[in-house]
Amino acid sequence: MTLAATLSRHAPADPEEAADLRRILDFVGRHPRPFERGIREGHLTGSAIVVSAGADRVLLLHHRKLDRWLQPGGHADPGETLGEDVALREAREETGIEGLLLHPTAPRPLDVDVHAIPARGPEPDHDHLDLRYLVIAPREAALVPAEAETHELRWARWEEVEALQPDHGLRRALAKAKVVMGR
């Protein structure tokens, strides 16, 4: 199934996600390689909502450049064309956790979100059109944060997440994850 066909089956949770999905579908329709970072207006990214094996915690990182709590994720490497591959690789690189697995029954993607990235150095401001996947960590997952990208990496109990002030899109994705995980 093509990326566009997969995305057209996605069920948005709210009007904001519906608008983001329309924008992503339009973008994918106009760009044959939508993960390519050289596209001026933005590019697709992949991220992971990482939940503990016991489903009682979610893994969040405090992003060094953006100075806020986020889920692991980021840019595709050359040749990557699947959001789930990007999400798993980025989560592994940013957290050090080996053995991460896509949740077997969660929608793929779990959530979609478009957000602005400010200009930094030679890179102009642009949008990340993020495809988010539900990922399960193995029991006894050892955290090894990518210090160049993160201030802190933290397992948070579901009831602790709100104190970290996630943005609306991340709150929505986490709410979906909780439902899938039966929390």
Q: What is the CATH number of the domain that holds 108?
A: 3.90.79.10
Q: What is the pLDDT of residues 93-113, one digit of tens each?
A: 999 999 999 999 999 999 999
Q: What is the pLDDT of residues 8-25, one digit of tens each?
A: 999 999 999 999 999 999
Q: Is residue 139 part of a domain?
A: yes
Q: How many domains does the chain have?
A: 1
Q: Is residue 90 part of a domain?
A: yes
Rounded to a whole number of angstroms, the CA Rg of the chain reads 15
Rounded to 10°, the helix 168-180/15-30 angle is 100
Q: Is residue 34 part of a domain?
A: yes
Model confidence, pTM:
0.95
Q: Is residue 121 part of a domain?
A: no
Domain of 102 in residue numbering reads as: 3-116+126-180
